[in-house]
Structure 1
Amino acid sequence: MSLIAYNKPPLSLQDQARLLISRGLQGITESELVQVLSNISYYRLRGYTYPYQNNAVPGSPFLTGVCWAYIKNDYEFDAGLRTIVSEALSYIEIAVRTQMEYHLSLSHGSRWYEDSALCNSQNIFRDNLDELRKHWNRSREVFKEHYLNKYDSSVSPPAWMIFETTTFGTVSKTFSNLKNNIPAKTAVAQYFGFSRNTMRVLVSWFQHLNLVRNICAHYSRLFTRSFIVRPMIPTHRPTKWVDSIPRQDRIYFSLCIITKLLDSCAPNYQFKEKLKELMKKVRRDQLPSLGFPENWREQDLFT
């Protein structure tokens, strides 16, 4: 199949607003829409108008009765969702770093991340080590400057320093590549309520949450996204869990994972309360697109 070159010309803000209104968008004037489009690009906004348009026909006209209030509500809900998810993930990420630094360093020394014998894949080990060193070299943290000014810089920094300057992606990949028979890895898993036998589930959760974190960091659409990196569903029901996961690729499962992990690392953080308050913005007919069952509030995990 031959592909065509993208040749749509750029449009002025006024022309963008006229185009949306000509397609049937109601409840907002052209001048008001111009103001919106000066702050939120047409292409970004398209992710929120898409569900309200008939995209099967040329011009993608808006469905009958669609008004701007629906789109505005979805956009604001998504922004609020990214905010509470980002804050929740900060607790989880810090706890993962801390647990790895602590247990692995006690068992295998302060520079255990340089020990390839602890890892399954030597190629992944080398890639992770390169990433750790690259992020360390780019870091401007005060503790790094102190280390370089006081200690022999030809010796690698301890894990509790270098892992504080890298990304959660590198942290999760390092954890994943550790051999499962290492007691220190099991100790990290146990902190989050997992065992050596269920380690694969936790690893998949960390990898998925890294994707969610990156989406939030780039302010991308979160609430109706279909995730490519899909976390594993536990085969054995954890304590305080949900009856089912209707969609493995939707944000509801991500929120279940976040809630479960927070029970271990930030039990006093009011995530469930914030989520329930935010979900008041969502219409009942929108729940399936987010992967939510109708009775989600009554699930053990969220009570």
Structure 2
Amino acid sequence: MAKVPFTKVAATPEQLLQKLKDRGLVVLPATEPKALACLRGVGGYRLKGYWFHVVDPATKRFPAGYSFEQIAARCELDRELRAATIEAIDRLEVAIRSVMANYLSLRHSPHWFLNTAIFKPTRDWGVGQLIRKIEEEVRRAEGKRFVAHYFNRHDDPYLPPSWSISECVTFGLWSRTYAILRDAQDKKAISKRFGVDQVEVFQSWIHTLTVVRNVAAHHGQLLRVRLGVAPANYKSAGIRFADQKSFYAAATVVHFLLVQTGLPHRWKAELMAIFQRYPDVEPAELGFPGGWTAQPGW
């Protein structure tokens, strides 16, 4: 395909709103200030992600009667969904790193991450990368009281123990570290703490959590978007996904694992409340099937 120079010019919110109205979008006089505020505060390019699927690809026109309020509602649902997702995965992140740090510390020593024998590195993630990342994150956290306390009293080993570094490093590091544990017994002992007796399933699930959390934390759209990660089916628990890259698949993983922690959470109730607040947006657009609250994993 031949490439051509970019020639589009920027438009003011007022110009963009008029352009949308010219294409058939309904904007009542009373809601025009809200529409302009939305275009200014959210941005037309971002908002397009919530309307492009309804526009006629040939004429670029909106369906008859389609209103700006419908676009705004879709945007708000997505925003609330991101916030709920971050809150739920935050609970899981703390639980997973706590279980891993405690189990591996008890079995291999509080400085298990310095023991290269317990790992089976891959091309994508090696022990050198693991240690380097821990060193970097601990260095950034030197001002924190618990890190300073270790270095004030100890110089061997040269890094704090596992339960201390767990407060410094990212969730992604824990996911990658789990993947390169050499002993299947270690992997299974950790996964079973979360009700999953198949290591491959748990490994794909925690990787899913890191990806979805990053999407939500960086303001990525969830509505009508197929995720770049596919959590494995957990057939022995009856969990099978029609679309493994749907938000529903990730949401099921989140709920199943939250239940296993035994800690209080609002995930299922929050999802139901969001869907009730925005009745014009079908949960099916996120991959949720009819009767999803009674499906395995929920």
Give how far 1:250 is off.
Answer: 0.8
- Distance in 2, matches of 1:261 and 1:173, equals 18
- The one-letter code matched in structure 2 to 1:234 is Y
Q: Is contact 1:73-1:281 (8 Å) kept?
A: no
- How many residue pairs end up in the alignment? 293
C-alpha change, 1:26 and 1:136, in structure 2 (3 Å) is: same
Sort the Cα spacing of 1:32 and 1:269 in 2 relative to 1 into closer, same or farther, 3 A.
closer
What amino acid maps onto 1:210 in structure 2?
Answer: T
Structure 1 match to 2:107? 107
Q: Counterpart of 1:163 in structure 2: which amino acid?
A: S
Match in the other structure for 2:266? 270
**Aligned equivalent of 2:78:** 78
Q: Confirm or deny: 8 A CA contact 1:103 1:185 kept in the other structure.
A: no
TM (normalized to structure 1)? Answer: 0.89
The Cα shift of 1:31 comes to: 4.1
What corresponds to 1:14 in structure 2? 14
Tell me the CA shift for residue 271 of structure 1: 2.0
Greater alpha carbon shift after TM alignment, 222-231 vs 115-124: 115-124
Match of 1:286 among 260, 274, 282: 282
Of the three residues 241, 244, 249, the one matched with 1:253 is 249
Deviations 1:111-145 (A, max 9, x none): 11122221222551222222222222122432122
Aligned runs of 1:115-194 on 2, under 5 Å?
115-121=115-121, 123=123, 124-125=125-126, 126-139=128-141, 140-152=143-155, 155-181=158-184, 183-194=185-196
Conserved 8 A contact 2:253-2:297: no
2-structure distance, mates of 1:270, 1:85: 10
- Partner in structure 2 of residue 36 of structure 1: 38
Gap runs ≥5 in structure 2: none
RMSD: 2.1
Give, in angstroms, the shift of residue 179 of structure 1.
1.9
AA aligned opposite 1:272? K
Of 290, 294, 298, 1:298 maps to: 294
1:88-107 to structure 2, matched below 5 A, reads: 88-107=88-107
- CA deviation string 1:188-211 (max 9, x = no partner): 11100122xx10111111111111
Matching residue of 1:209: 209
Q: Percent identity?
A: 26
User: 1:174 is matched by which residue type in structure 2?
Assistant: T
Change beyond 3 A, Cα 1:300–1:249: closer
Distance 1:273 1:202 in 2: 24
Name the CA distance, whole Å, in 2 between partners of 1:50 and 1:117: 52
Aligned to 1:23: 23
User: In the aligned structure 2, how far is the partner of 1:114 from the partner of 1:3?
Assistant: 51
Q: State the partner residue of 2:61.
A: 61
User: Counterparts of 1:149 and 1:19 in 2: how far apart (Å)?
Assistant: 64
1:269 CA displacement: 1.8
- Judge which range, 41-50 or 202-211, deviates more: 41-50
Over 3 Å counting, the alpha-carbon distance change for 1:40 and 1:26 in structure 2 is: same
Distance in 2, Cα, partners of 1:180 & 1:210: 23
Decide whether the 8 Å contact of 1:135 with 1:165 is kept in 2: yes
Give how far 1:223 is off: 2.6
| Counterpart amino acid of residue 251 in structure 2 | L
SS at match of 2:134: helix
Alpha-carbon shift at residue 213 of structure 1 (Å): 0.4
Distance 1:166 1:200, change over 3 A: same
Deviation at 1:289, TM superposition (A): 2.3
- Alpha-carbon distance between aligned partners in 2 of 1:270 and 1:32, rounded to the nearest angstrom: 31
> For the residues of structure 1 that align with 2:28 and 2:180, how far apart are their CA atoms?
52
Per-residue deviation, residues 53-90 of structure 1 (Å, max 9, x unmatched): 22x226x3222221112112111111111121111111
User: Offset at 1:284?
Assistant: 7.5
CA distance in 1, matches of 2:232, 2:224: 19
Contiguous gaps of at least 5 residues in structure 1: none
Secondary structure of 1:48's counterpart equals coil
TM-score of the two chains, using structure 2 as the length reference: 0.90
Residue matched to 2:224: 224
Q: CA contact under 8 A between 1:132 and 1:163: conserved in structure 2?
A: no
Letter in 2 for 1:203: Q
Shift of 1:266: 4.0
Conserved? CA contact 2:74–2:281, under 8 Å: no
